[in-house]
Structure 1
Amino acid sequence: MNLPKLLLEKLHFRKENNALRVLKRQSQSIDFASNDYLGFSQNEVIFNKVHDYLATKKIIRNGATGSRLLSGNHEIYFEAESFIAHFHQSEAALIYNSGYDANVGFFSAVPQRNDVILYDELCHASIRDGIQMGLAKAYKFKHNDLVDLEKLMQRFTASAAEIYVVTEAVFSMDGDSPNIVELVAICEKHKALLVVDEAHALGVLGTEKGCQGEGLVQQFQLQNKVFARIMTFGKALGCHGAAILGSQDLKEYLVNFSRSLIYTTALSPHSVATILIAYQELAISLATIKQLEKNSEYFNTNCPYLQTPISHSSIKSIVIPGNEKVKEIASYLQENGFDVKPILSPTVPEGEERLRFCLHAYNTETEMEQVLLLLKKKLS
């Protein structure tokens, strides 16, 4: 059957604006596009350890067979959640099928009708979707602007039953981070509940003060002052799934009321085993994390086109306004063997289209030097 006229018009509008999304085959070029920051998705040691783990436990199952509340809560979940909670110094951890599921499941279930959610204007679509599905009223504050946030807090302190403040440890388009120390202090002052999405910080941040890739919150030893953290495994851990960290009471509440957990088939034993083994590998991967930091510093020092303030995470953005222009430069880099992706409007606001470089521990200085020389040739 033909697609309805209105839907065809929307597709046509995307094509006219050079913004049509298409599914492409995976590139074999030098990787500056994936979220595989530590190379865990292609780590042979992890791959073999997962096989050995399943074989030792004599687990021969291709699927979970049902939701976690029915038949899918296999034994590996208990071991993995225990390890994750201990690693992140959290009372409890609850695994979800994806970061999207975790955010939708949290924000649609936890904030209630008389609560208020204050979220950073650049928060991920999964956070926004979860908020829209929930009962609480929500208001955005200017990106990483704690003065604007506190003004909103003062506005709602008297009327809201609870105030939830939502941010990300590393924002996926700019690679920047909030001032987490000041943010926690403001939330304590106004008795607000802070929720931090650590998707792009896990495995990347946290090598100071005895931490090792645990994320931004633990880097500053603030884990006991944050209501909930969302840890996503599809980035630096190189696998699939996510976990919400918090109190045991929060975990029990989510098991009872979070629809994206209750009404979906659980992850397979192989998937959860991969999460567990990836976490175990992260615990002994300080040298790899340090190499990633070194690559980030090299890129910052040698690229004059970076978005300011300059990111110290693995994500580097170079704003090149206009879908057509940024796609042209991305195609040039791709034709020369470098997988660099353009980020187009409407994913980012019109006029803020960009090249988004994702750095990895396995990128070499030679690769970075070569791609930056090509970029200079097109932008100078």
Structure 2
Amino acid sequence: MSPISSLEVTLRQRLDERRQRNLYRELKTLAAAPGPLAQVDGRELLTFSSNDYLGLATHPDVIAAQQAGAELGAGATASHLVNGHLQIHRQLEDKIAEITGRDAALVFSSGYMANVGTICALVGRGDNVISDRLNHASLIDGARLCGATSLRFAHNDLDGLQRQLQRAAANGGQTLVAVDGVYSMDGDCAPLAEMAELCRRHSAWLMVDEAHGFGVMGSPQLPLAGSIALAGLGQDDAPVMMGTLGKAAGNAGAFVAGSRALIDYLVQFARPYIYTTGMPPAVAAGALAALEVMQREPERSARLQRNIEFFRRRAAQLQLPLVESASPIQPLLLGDENAVMAVAAELQQRGFLVGAIRPPTVPAGTARLRITLSANHSEAQIDQLLTALAESLGPWAETAS
């Protein structure tokens, strides 16, 4: 058998196996970014699957800023360290530092690159990286690739973290603890104040992925800074903060924020930053405009919080078994992949797009509907979804937990 035909046979076998297990993923094609109505495969649906929590992906000021930013060039033309670091990048980084209350920030092309690059720059052979078992794939892969001893603990288990910190101390070397601030598939927050205290006791460095916290939550002083600020922590407590610009900010790319020394260090040692063409100037301009809108229109965040509270209150009245979450991510665990796909398909028939999440994205036996809320959803739209959800669960209600 030729190498090409052997490859084709292997690929088809693996794809068929995934189809048989009802784990095959299919692309949905949208005509434009949802806001929250969207044309999906030619049909208008009300979407509850977007990470555009503040509705900024379709904000006219943000779109206008992107269009103006394109006048600076279609692309950055080179890596940041060659000639791809433009004034608009510096302005965006200064704004991120201001919003997060940090000394400085560095923009990356994606959150995945930011996490992998930062972990691999900070720790390596002879060091330790400790991770929550439900961390985002980018944190997991960074821990695998960096060469450090990888230790994991059960989700949000402080006793488990303590044990792994003790193991890391016995191993020697530096220790990085990497966790999500808000978990993308569960919607819950890490107990960051307690984790920071454990890290202090063991001289470990705490890194927090704020992809789903940045722009959505914070403290009175830093209302957009994320779960770190919500927990009352500062730069010294959680010295490494990663955030994305493709969720609450409605654009693309990511950043790491921290001390001036941390940012200078990443410029020198974070390979995905060094060896990648810089963020397109249009994206940087759009992201900067989005952050300015966040600051200028705090009612967006307030409206999102009201929508979360309304959703949970009405879901409780309908006796829908939601997972505990105060974030825009509201999971409904069904466990069974067939149930998740059937209910998601029924909702789509009724005019709603909701994410059907199955392994390997989540652990086996925890398939779920991942409902996400936006500041742009009306209470009437949320009520329509909940009514359809209660009716669609039907024969699958007993599997929900």
What TM-score comes out, normalization by structure 2 length?
0.90
Match of 2:222 among 198, 205, 211: 211
State the Cα distance separating 1:166 from its structure 2 match.
1.1
Q: Distance in 2 between matches of 1:45 and 1:306?
A: 39
1:269-280 matches, cutoff 5 A: 269-280=281-292
Match of 1:102 among 114, 124, 127: 114
Equivalent pair of 1:175/1:313 in contact (CA under 8 Å): yes
* Structure 2 residue aligned with 1:11: 15
Answer yes or no: is 1:253 the counterpart of 2:265: yes
SS in 2 for 1:318: strand
Q: Distance in 2 between matches of 1:232 and 1:265?
A: 18
Q: Distance in 2 between matches of 1:116 and 1:41?
A: 38
* Structure 2 residue aligned with 1:93: 105
Q: Distance in 1 between matches of 2:170 and 2:339?
A: 49
Match of 2:348 among 303, 316, 334: 334
Mean alpha-carbon deviation: is it higher for 70-79 or for 286-295?
Answer: 70-79
Match of 1:264 among 271, 276, 282: 276
Gaps of 5+ in 1: none
Q: Distance in 1 between matches of 2:388 and 2:66?
A: 40
* Structure 1 residue aligned with 2:47: 31
* Structure 2 residue aligned with 1:221: 232
Query: Counterpart of 1:347 in structure 2: which amino acid?
Result: T
Match of 1:155 among 154, 158, 167: 167
State the Cα distance separating 1:50 from its structure 2 match.
4.3
State the Cα distance separating 1:51 from its structure 2 match.
4.1
Equivalent pair of 1:122/1:143 in contact (CA under 8 Å): yes
Mean alpha-carbon deviation: is it higher for 118-127 or for 65-74?
Answer: 65-74
Q: Distance in 1 between matches of 2:384 and 2:107?
A: 40
State the Cα distance separating 1:39 from its structure 2 match.
0.4
* Identity between Structure 1 and Structure 2 (%): 35
SS in 2 for 1:37: coil
* Structure 1 residue aligned with 2:62: 46
Change (3 A) 1:96 1:283: same
* Structure 1 residue aligned with 2:37: none
* Structure 1 residue aligned with 2:377: 363
Query: Counterpart of 1:111 in structure 2: which amino acid?
Result: V
Q: Distance in 2 between matches of 1:305 and 1:21?
A: 26
Number of residue-to-residue matches in the alignment: 374
Q: Distance in 2 between matches of 1:44 and 1:188?
A: 45
Q: Distance in 2 between matches of 1:220 and 1:18?
A: 39
1:343-354 matches, cutoff 5 A: 343-354=357-368
State the Cα distance separating 1:279 from its structure 2 match.
1.2
Query: Counterpart of 1:305 in structure 2: which amino acid?
Result: L
Query: Counterpart of 1:12 in structure 2: which amino acid?
Result: D
Equivalent pair of 2:100/2:222 in contact (CA under 8 Å): no
Which string of whole-angstrom CA distances, capped at 9 and with x for unpartnered residues, describes residues 94-138 of structure 1? Answer: 100010110111122211212111100000111111121112111
Q: Distance in 2 between matches of 1:5 and 1:278?
A: 47
Mean alpha-carbon deviation: is it higher for 3-12 or for 190-199?
Answer: 3-12
Which string of whole-angstrom CA distances, capped at 9 and with x for unpartnered residues, describes residues 239-296 of structure 1? Answer: 0000011222221221122111111111111111112111111112211101100111
* Structure 1 residue aligned with 2:245: 233
Q: Distance in 1 between matches of 2:199 and 2:59?
A: 40
State the Cα distance separating 1:151 from its structure 2 match.
1.4
SS in 2 for 1:264: coil
Mean alpha-carbon deviation: is it higher for 331-340 or for 217-226?
Answer: 217-226
Mean alpha-carbon deviation: is it higher for 102-111 or for 191-200?
Answer: 102-111
State the Cα distance separating 1:38 from its structure 2 match.
0.5
Gaps of 5+ in 2: 31-39, 395-401
RMSD between superposed Cα atoms in Å: 1.6
State the Cα distance separating 1:327 from its structure 2 match.
0.6
Q: Distance in 1 between matches of 2:159 and 2:314?
A: 33
Change (3 A) 1:60 1:196: closer
Which string of whole-angstrom CA distances, capped at 9 and with x for unpartnered residues, describes residues 154-185 of structure 1? Answer: 22224322111111111000100011111111
State the Cα distance separating 1:14 from its structure 2 match.
0.5
1:50-199 matches, cutoff 5 A: 50-51=66-67, 54=69, 59-199=71-211
State the Cα distance separating 1:82 from its structure 2 match.
1.4
Query: Counterpart of 1:181 in structure 2: which amino acid?
Result: A
What TM-score comes out, normalization by structure 1 length?
0.94
Q: Distance in 1 between matches of 2:225 and 2:162?
A: 28
SS in 1 for 2:129: strand
Equivalent pair of 1:306/1:317 in contact (CA under 8 Å): no
Match of 1:305 among 302, 320, 323: 320
1:316-327 matches, cutoff 5 A: 316-327=330-341
State the Cα distance separating 1:346 from its structure 2 match.
2.0
Q: Distance in 2 between matches of 1:321 and 1:85?
A: 41
State the Cα distance separating 1:306 from its structure 2 match.
3.8
